[in-house]
Amino acid sequence: MVEDLREQTSHTDMVGDLREQAIQAEETFEAERKAHLAQSFLGLAPRQRLVLAVLLFLNVALCGCMALVMTGRVMLPF
């Protein structure tokens, strides 16, 4: 009878410990998730960042070509 009581007590302690560990793991996960969201650039999805990067590249390339034509370093064929 005493052994049964000890087993029940230890089982209750284990369940309580597991609950505490689960709560701590969830809090850690939420903190990491918030840090990851803050780390993303302007809160954009990866596809949106790719489109933004491509548009920025094209803008810089076009401005560079226009500057070369305006300074006379490159002549247009027509």
Q: 37 near 30, Cβ under 8 Å?
A: no
pLDDT of residue 59: 99
Q: Can you give the pLDDT of all 78 residues of the chain as single tens digits?
A: 667 656 666 667 777 888 888 888 888 888 777 766 656 778 899 999 999 999 999 999 999 999 999 999 999 888
Residues 32 and 6 reside in one and the same domain: yes
Tell me, what amino acid is at 39? Q
pTM of structure: 0.49
Residues 49 and 29 reside in one and the same domain: no
Task: For residue 57, give its domain range.
Answer: 43-78
Residues 54 and 32 reside in one and the same domain: no
How many folded domains does the chain comprise?
2
Please name the residues in contact with 52: beta carbons below 8 A apart, sequence gap of 6 or more: 44
The Cα 4–Cα 23 span in angstroms is: 29
Task: Return the closest-CA partner of residue 46 out of 29, 54, 60.
Answer: 54
pLDDT of residue 36: 66
